[in-house]
Amino acid sequence: MKISIVFVFVLVVLSAFMGQTEAKWKGWKKIERAGQRVFKAAEKALPVVQGYAVAITSPSSAQMFGGRQNFPSGGFSQQAGYKAGPVWGSLSQSFDRHGFGSPINVGAGADYMSKQGHGISGSLGVVPGVGGQGSLRGQVGILNSGNHHVNAFAQHDRFLNRDLKPFGPETNSAGLNYNNANGANAFISGSQTHGAPARGTVGGSIPLVSSGNAGINLSGQTTFGHGMKPQHQVGVEGSIRF
């Protein structure tokens, strides 16, 4: 699939969200059922530990990706999507510990990254007829040697109503990312939502298996903040390139 085709598809999906009423979302049920079939197929085909993520990449830089993350308190979230060049689209859904699922979220975005580690990206996640969230992110490369890469980023997030208009408090965050040539990475970030306590997140990933075009990584992160119990997540990520 060419980048232009994916980009047009994303624009069509996003334009369909604009100014629609709930009565015009009947066609969404077909998309939702299709998304659930994708998730069920992935669940049967892939083993679940604490979580998993899979990416299949072609030489043309097109990529299919998906994953599942289990929550310590029960329940899980899952995602499946397609990326071609700088443009991507995805479907995601969460389930509580009783098995009740949230509406499927449609995501889309685009990014640009220079060889020096400077870049900008934007993303949009929407539940049709309900609303969603939009994000803008900028990144500056600090260190870009042969084996070590460090960058700093800043991000701005806003909630969107059903007409995709911003509402509610905005969230601003910043942090540092580190990547090693052997596949290990680490990050630390902090965020502040107007009227709420600041939160921090620290995490990383290390390669467990790396053989040819395939690899398996162990990842984890902890989110902490004033007045909240630290939240820990651990998962296994796999990738296959062909």
Nearest to 222 by CA among 235, 210, 212, 233: 233
Nearest to 137 by CA among 172, 166, 165: 172
- DSSP H helices, the chain, are 3-17, 28-45
Cβ pair 110, 130 in contact under 8 A: no
Please give the Cα distance from 89 to 3 (Å, whole number).
12
- Span 202-236, pLDDT tens digits: 999 999 887 767 778 899 999 999 889 999 988 88
Residue type, 175: G
Range of the domain at 208: 3-241
Q: Which residue has the tokens 């077909």?
A: 30
User: Into how many domains does the chain fold?
Assistant: 1
Which stretches of the chain score pLDDT less than 70? Answer: 1-61, 212, 239-242
- Tell me, what CATH number does 103's domain have? 2.40.160.40
Dihedral sign for Cα 41, 47, 52, 57, please. Answer: negative
pLDDT at 45: 46
Q: What is the pTM of this model?
A: 0.65
CA–chain centroid gap for 28, Å, is 21
Please give the Cα distance from 111 to 83 (Å, whole number).
11
Residue 100 is given by DSSP the state P
pLDDT at 16: 39
E strand intervals along 18-147:
51-57, 62-70, 76-84, 87-95, 105-113, 119-127, 131-144
Please give the Cα distance from 31 to 127 (Å, whole number).
12
Two tokens, residue 236: 């296994």
